[in-house]
Structure formats: structure tokens, C-alpha cells
Amino acid sequence: TAAFLAVTAGGALAEGETVGFSQIGSESGWRAAETTLTRQQAEERGIQLQFSDAQQKQENQIAAIRSFVAQGVDAILLAPVVATGWDSVLQEAKEAEIPVVLLDRQVDSSEDLYLTAVGSNLVHEGEVAGEWLANEVGDRECRIVELQGTTGSSPAIDRKTGFENAIKDHPNLTIVRSQTGDFTRALGKEVMESFLQAENGGKDICALYAHNDDMAVGAIQAIKEAGLKPGEDILVVSIDAVPDIFKAMADGEANATVELTPNMAGPAFDALAAYWADGTMPPKFIQTESKLFTQADDPAGEYERRKGLGY
Ligand code: GZL
């Protein structure tokens, strides 16, 4: 498609371009917000978005990418549910000369198989969470339970690494149980129930580290049903900064979250506009910032500011 480009205040316009978006699913509030913002960004830039929801299955993402290639789209956005198994389908897109931009998660494939990746430093997010907890508990013995993200996903791998980096020099902090909650509220609650039962009704648990806020929100429900006070008896630290974690913080039921912007599409579409215009190659990684929020950071105000943003 001949691309007519005019730069507007909100970012480069790309009238008439068609982009295929292989989205993981709608497993969390954060994911829903990313989808909402991607649709808005495409609309504002005159980009025709072909959307595919993979229901968190890699085979559905691979099929969607193949259909985008067959359609001859001008670019593909991919939020890869897991980090491995992408080489052949990315090679097919490359041979069709269709640029692929990764959103919010990484792949193990070589970087010449995608134009760029937009996302946070996932290891750093885990470090920020661990440093907050280490600072919060001081020298007190602290038995930690961990709700991991989707098994094999780059956030689950990297957020675990980062948190362990941060606590390795604090022998009083130990992760005593760690299991996937698949980034969902429901499984986060269910796994937390098993942690509570296994840990003397939760009395032996000092803190929960959840790889995303949705699992933390589910776990908070389980902690309350076990008759304990989340945010006090069991400290709660997680990642994403979705509205409901700020609501929990305002109620004293959660303690800290590390913000992950859901606007990955803005930088992605900017990079594509430059690439479509004159072949400009973006950096292979466009990093979004990670900011710590605690109960001291006006959680009620943050809730009001964020609710309705598509979470
Ligand atoms: C992280 C992103 C994660 C969010 C979760 O970059 O891929 O996926 O933290 C979402 O809420 O499920």
C-alpha cells in the first residue's frame, strides 16, 4: 500500500497501512488496557488493525501470524505468550518482508527476525520489587511466597531472576514457595489458598511477591478468607500498577507495585512509521520505564486517574 505519511502532534500518521496484531488474550487487566490503547493508537494514526486474540495459546498466535503474512499486511505486532518456538514463523514473515514488532514480552529468537521489541526491563522490575521488600522488612526474618507469571514467558523468567538478585544478599529473606498463577486473578487466588494451607494457615508467611497485580488481587481475597490482614500480616508486592492494586493499597491491603505502561503500541507505531517512510531501522529494544508506587504515593488518586483507561 502506498503509504501517505504526515506527522501529526500525536505521532506519525500512516494512512492506509494495515497491521496485524497477535495479542495473547485478556488474562489480566493490564492486557486489556494494552489492547484498548493499541486500538486507540491505530485509530488515531489511520492504521487499519487486524486483531487476533490467541486465548493464551502459542499455536493460535502462530496461526494468526501466518494468516497476516498471507493477507500481505504492512506489519505485524506480536505479544509473545512464551519466549521460545517462534523461529520458523518469524522467518516466514521475514521472507515476506513484513516487519514484526514485539510488544511487552521477549522471544529467544535472534534479533534479525524482528524489527524491534517494545517493553520494560523485566529483570529490573523484579529487582525493584525485591529491593522494596528488603528495605521494608529490615533484619526481620521474612518467609516469602511467590506467584509466578505464565510458565515460559519472559516476564515470569525475568521477574523471578530480578527479585532473587535483589534478595540474595539478605539471608533473612527466603522464598519458601513459588508456583505459577498464570497472570490471572482466579489462579492467583487458588494457588495462594494452597500456600496459606501449607504455611500454618498463613501465619508463617511474611510476604507475597506476585509477578502481576491481578494475581496479587486474587491472593488478597484468599488471605482475607483465611482470616489474615493482607498488607499487614502478609505484605503484598506486585507489578503492573493497574487500578485495582491502587484500590487495595488505599484500603491498606497491598503495599507496593511497579508500574508497567500499557502503551506499548505508541512507540511501536512510531518506529513502524519511520521504517515505512524511508527504511529507518529502530534500536532492537525500545525500553519503557518502571516506576515504584507505594501506599505513600496517593493510591486513591492513582486509582481515580487510571480507572476507565481500558483496564
Ligand atoms: C509484562 C506483560 C505481563 C503483565 C501481565 O510485560 O507481558 O502480561 O505483567 C500480563 O499482567 O499478563
Residue with cell 529490615: 138
The answer for residues whose C-beta is within 8 angstroms of residue 135's C-beta and 6 or more apart is: none
Per-residue pLDDT band for 71 (boundaries 50, 70, 90) equals very high
Could you give the angle at which helices 299-306 and 243-250 cross, rounded to 10 degrees? 150
| Alpha carbons 271 and 266: distance in angstroms, whole number | 9
Choose one of 160, 212, 214, 306 to mutate for the ligand 1 pocket test, by most ligand atoms within 8 angstroms of C-beta. Answer: 212
Mean pLDDT of 52-63: 98
Q: What is the pLDDT of residue 268?
A: 98
Of all atoms in ligand 1, which is nearest to the CA of residue 122? 6
Coil, strand or helix at 123: helix
Residue ranges of alpha helices (H) inside 96-179 are: 122-137, 154-167
Which candidate, 188, 157, 214, 197, places its Cα nearest to that of 28? 214
Cβ 185 under 6 angstroms from ligand 1: no
CA 104 to ligand 1: nearest atom: 6
ipTM above 0.90, yes or no: yes
Q: Which of 7-16, 25-34, 166-175 has the lowest mean pLDDT?
A: 7-16
Q: What is the pLDDT of residue 11?
A: 57
Q: Residue 169: CB partners within 8 Å, gap ≥ 6?
A: none
Between the alpha carbon of residue 181 and those of residues 147, 151, 185, the distances in Å are 6, 9, 8
- Asked if residue 212 has its Cβ within 6 Å of ligand 1, the reply is yes
Q: Assign 13 a pLDDT band (cuts: 50, 70, 90).
A: low
What value does the mean pLDDT take over residues 216-234? 98
**DSSP-based helix, strand, coil % in the chain, nearest 5:** 40, 20, 35
Checking if the pLDDT of 102 tops 60, the result is: yes
Alpha helices in the chain (DSSP H): 29-44, 58-71, 87-95, 122-137, 154-167, 185-198, 213-225, 243-250, 265-278, 299-306
Q: Which atom of ligand 1 is nearest to the CA of 239?
A: 9
Task: Specify the pairing of strand 285-288 against strand 116-120.
Answer: parallel
Q: What is the mean pLDDT of residues 270-283?
A: 97
Q: What is the pLDDT of residue 309?
A: 87
Mean pLDDT of 11-19: 77
DSSP, residue by residue, 37-96: HHHHHHHHTT-EEEEEE-TT-HHHHHHHHHHHHHHT-SEEEE--SSSSS-HHHHHHHHHT
Output the pLDDT for position 8: 44
Residue nearest to atom 6 of ligand 1 (CA): 104
pLDDT value at 78 more than 70: yes
Q: Which residues contact 235 (CB under 8 A, 6 or more apart)?
A: 133, 136, 137, 206, 207, 208, 255
Instruction: Kindly list the strands in the beta sheet with 18-23, ordered across the sheet, starting from the edge strand earlier in the chain.
Output: 48-53, 18-23, 75-78, 100-103, 116-120, 285-288
**How many angstroms is it from 294 CA to the middle of ligand 1?**
20
Contacting residues for 24 by C-beta, under 8 A, at least 6 apart: 31, 54, 56, 61, 79, 80, 81, 105
Which residues, other chains included, contact 295 with Cβ-Cβ below 8 Å and sequence gap of 6+?
Answer: 249, 250, 252, 255, 256
Is ligand 1 within 6 A of the CB of residue 27?
yes
pLDDT at residue 7 above 60?
no
**Does the C-beta of 189 come closer than 6 Å to ligand 1?**
no
Nearest-10 crossing angle of helices 29-44, 265-278: 40
Q: How confident is the model at residue 310 (pLDDT cuts 50, 70, 90)?
A: confident
Q: Candidates 22, 28, 102: which one to mutate for ligand 1, based on the most atoms within 8 Å of Cβ?
A: 28
Residue 1 has pLDDT above 90, yes or no: no
pLDDT band at 258 (very low <50, low <70, confident <90, very high): very high
232 pLDDT tier (thresholds 50, 70, 90): very high
Supply the mean pLDDT for the chain. Answer: 95
Q: Is 172 exposed, middle or buried (0-12, 13-18, 19+ CB in 10 A)?
A: middle
